Amino acid sequence: MIIQSERISLKHLLSIEALTDQEVMGLIRRGREFKRGAKWTPEKDQYFATNLFFENSTRTHKSFDVAEKKLGIEVIEFDAGHSSVQKGETLYDTVLTMSALGVDVAVIRHGDEAYYDELIESKTIQCAIVNGGDGSGQHPSQCLLDLMTIHEEFGSFEGLKVAIVGDITHSRVAKSNMQMLKRLGAEVFFSGPAEWYDESFEVYGHYLPLDELVETVDVMMMLRVQHERHADGEDTGFTKEGYHQQYGLTVERAAKMKKGAIIMHPAPVNRDVELADSLVEGLQSRIVQQMTNGVYVRMAILEAILAGRA
């Protein structure tokens, strides 16, 4: 890591744990500056980025698009369904091709955990890699936008109580957030179905019943039920209504949240499952703000990555 005038410089962004606290706080600070209208001073006339999404996405894909365009970076469109992936081209060869074309940064979402290992080990691939989500592994840019949203609200992480609730084992958002929130001094708690909880999370926080947590925490971070990551034909045993009543943030539960506490969700939200429809755009919710902040924190990530190439 190199810090120049408090600016962060990164070679890649692969997992949240690879960042220092200083880098995390620098990216949040820069995201907030971009939100207030700060401008980027590029070192070259032209940069190219490509967003390679092999799993579905609305927020991550499109907010990287917007961030790139706000910075004046040329975006090379890629649609896996109309690319040579359909002829058997591997991820490695797609990225190798983009690198050979002169692309500076590839934002990649892929279903395989740590798909990026073979890309960064390559001596031929020259472009920087930004992980837009790897299976159930990590989602570092979502973590940074979540941290930015919490920081805007509370100004610090020290001593904050944060509940992460729902399908934790399948959630890359939860993995990134539990690690970094704990490191930054927040107290992390978990709740949700026992079958979607793992003892390995105890390093970062403790499991408590939802009705106990809801009255005490500063942040209720609800997670999407990740149907696409459940085994084929797996019977989760929950109806939508049953899940909502047992593990969801109902209107009644939200009414018990302490004054000033906020609701977060990485989205897309299964309305009336993880949280009540009326809460999604309610006063306690920061879900829309999370999406907006995604653009600014991704501008900060891209600036740091391109500084790393200068």
* Closest distance to ligand CP from the beta carbon of 222 (Å): 12
Between CA 254 and CA 233 the distance in angstroms is: 33
Which is closer to ligand CP, CB of 142 or CB of 250?
A: 142
Distances (CA, A) of 171 to 124, 136, 238, 268: 32, 5, 18, 13
* Closest distance to ligand CP from the beta carbon of 115 (Å): 16
Question: Which two tokens mark 227?
Answer: 């149907």
Going along the chain, which residue ranges are E strands? 2-4, 7-9, 48-53, 74-76, 105-110, 128-134, 161-165, 187-191, 205-207, 219-222, 262-264
Helices marked H in 219-273: 240-247, 251-254
Distances (CA, A) of 228 to 82, 261, 281: 23, 31, 25
Between CA 119 and CA 138 the distance in angstroms is: 16
Give the interface segment with ligand CP, choosing from 25-33, 59-67, 87-95, 272-280 (CB under 6 A). 59-67
Give the interface segment with ligand CP, choosing from 21-29, 57-65, 157-165, 247-255 (CB under 6 A). 57-65
Which is closer to ligand CP, CB of 42 or CB of 135?
A: 135
DSSP state of 186: P
Which is closer to ligand CP, CB of 187 or CB of 196?
A: 196
* Closest distance to ligand CP from the beta carbon of 116 (Å): 17
Q: Which of residues 112-141 bind ligand CP (CB under 6 A)?
A: 133
* Closest distance to ligand CP from the beta carbon of 60 (Å): 3
Figure out which of the listed residues 267, 295, 299, 300 binds ligand CP, where binding follows CB under 6 A.
267
Between CA 107 and CA 132 the distance in angstroms is: 6
Figure out which of the listed residues 20, 58, 90, 122 binds ligand CP, where binding follows CB under 6 A.
58
Figure out which of the listed residues 15, 50, 51, 60 binds ligand CP, where binding follows CB under 6 A.
60
* Closest distance to ligand CP from the beta carbon of 21 (Å): 23
Which is closer to ligand CP, CB of 41 or CB of 56?
A: 56
Figure out which of the listed residues 11, 29, 59, 271 binds ligand CP, where binding follows CB under 6 A.
59
Q: Is 294 helix (H, G, I), strand (E, B) or coil?
A: helix
* Closest distance to ligand CP from the beta carbon of 65 (Å): 11
Q: What is the per-residue DSSP string for 102-135?
A: T-SEEEEEESSTTTTHHHHH-SS--SEEEEEEET
Residue 229 class from Cβ within 10 Å (0-12 exposed, 13-18 middle, 19+ buried)? middle
Give the interface segment with ligand CP, choosing from 54-62, 70-78, 117-125, 156-164 (CB under 6 A). 54-62
Q: Would you tell me which residues interact with ligand CP (CB under 6 A)?
A: 57-61, 133, 142, 266-268
